[in-house]
Amino acid sequence: MKQTLFIALLLMAALAAKADHVRVRLYSANDIQAINISFDLGVYNLYGERTSGDERLIEDMVGEGRSVILKAEGDKIRVSVNSDEYGLYSSVRLEATDTACILCLNPEGCRQRTYEGNLEISMLPNKHLQLINDVEFETYIAGVVQSEIYGQQSDIFRIQAIISRTWALRNLRKHATEGYNFCDHVHCQAYLNRCIRPDIMIGAIESSGETLVDASGQLIEAPFHSNSGGQTANSEDVWRNALPYLRSVPDTFSFRMKQSDWTKTIPVHRWLSYFVKTHHINTNDAALRDTLLHFQQPSRRARILGVPLTRVRQDWQLKSTFFSVEYDQATHNVILHGHGYGHGVGLSQEGTIRMVALGYSYDSILAHYYTGALLHHDPSQNRNYVEHYAAQLSRIIEEDRNRQTQTLSKKDDWLGRLFRLRDREAREEVYIESEQDNEQDWQYEW
């Protein structure tokens, strides 16, 4: 009972957040034909389905030292474990036997990633593998935070967790017709690994039960972007609807950051030809031509000669719509002087990083970027437990600082240690860390 309670609390009371597990398609931007799956922590049961509804156990207790290799073959998946061949299946599932289980994924031609939770593999119509991670909701949120933002202070991660949780809860059915909740790409939210940093997890835990709502108590859309360039955008200037909490606001906090400014040089004949051919603008008209060659945005605008800047950004693959145009007669080029990175609506991540560094509170930062939105605290979330597990992780971080000569493998990282410590506490055993195995990260060579 004690261990079960610990696990539920460690994963931040997902039921209280109105979601339990979510299904996330992994490597959604890649065509996967083969994958090697190894195990960094815990053991899994391997199931396969030959015909619809006929799932059977292929092998149980698959863990460290074992390797599951799956290959697309026609409309089936060929399954092997180490050197043992198990034939063809229409779908395969790896089910974790405990909460503290970690998979290491090595798809052919892609970078290695690690995830917690279960993994389901099926065939797509294009004869490639589809990978779906069935994972605790809050574990997913922590992975998103790690994938979406950089920084050091826990409030940065707390803020990102709040807006990522808000977005996810509002969009739980985004890919429902495809059999999962979200993809792992920016079409939804980046989810490129499990959370491996305890400082990020502290911020995520501290945000437990927190979401953003509008004046009627409904979850808001909570878009974010890398850098506003000094001013955020109105939602209707980028998308269709004008939302009261997505208003353009001055954002000097985004100045002098990694993605604050950019330039792009384009031959003038290509720039003018684009507006002639694509948008039917008469560049022989001196006034129209002058606007295209000397366009200025001292503050954000939505259009240039009636053309949506979002379309210009897309067609020219620009970092943002917040740019001005300079014509260089000597080189016959136009130079776009741009600011920021992303659509510009909602929260600026680099502006957030600056505001946290300057001492602004996390709730005031959210209020700055989401005009009039309210921070909702789930009353069922026990803050004492939240603070307890944040303190546990803080202690582990401090221990690591005092052991900088020791290289920790994935098995011996903060999550594994925290689970093993608590597991032994539950069974009233003594945990001696020096006696635990230390394994090196393992990369499968295709």
Is 215 a residue whose pLDDT tops 80?
Answer: yes
Determine contact, residues 127/75, Cβ cutoff 8 Å.
yes
Q: What is the enclosing helix (H) or strand (E) of 129?
A: strand 129-136
* Residue closest to 98 by CA, chosen among 210, 229, 218, 3: 3
The residue among 205 and 89 whose pLDDT is bigger is 89
Question: Mean pLDDT, to the nearest integer, of 26-40?
Answer: 95
pLDDT in the model for residue 414 = 61
Looking at residue 252, the DSSP 8-state letter turns out to be G
For the chain, how far is it from start to end, CA to CA, in angstroms?
A: 43
Determine contact, residues 211/165, Cβ cutoff 8 Å.
yes
Distance between CA atoms of residues 264 and 288, nearest Å? 21
Indicate the pLDDT class of residue 417, thresholds 50, 70 and 90.
Answer: low
pLDDT in the model for residue 189 = 94
Looking at residue 33, the DSSP 8-state letter turns out to be S
* Residue closest to 322 by CA, chosen among 264, 379, 246: 264
Q: What is the share, in percent, of the chain residues with pLDDT greater than 70?
A: 84
- Residue 350's SS3 state is helix
Question: Mean pLDDT, to the nearest integer, of 146-165?
Answer: 94
**What residues does each domain of the chain span?**
32-127, 221-254+344-372, 261-339
pTM: 0.84
Looking at residue 432, the DSSP 8-state letter turns out to be -
282: which residues sit within 8 A by CB, 6+ positions away? 276, 288
Distance between CA atoms of residues 109 and 33, nearest Å? 9
Distance between CA atoms of residues 220 and 345, nearest Å? 13
Indicate the pLDDT class of residue 188, thresholds 50, 70 and 90.
Answer: very high
Question: Mean pLDDT, to the nearest integer, of 276-285?
Answer: 97
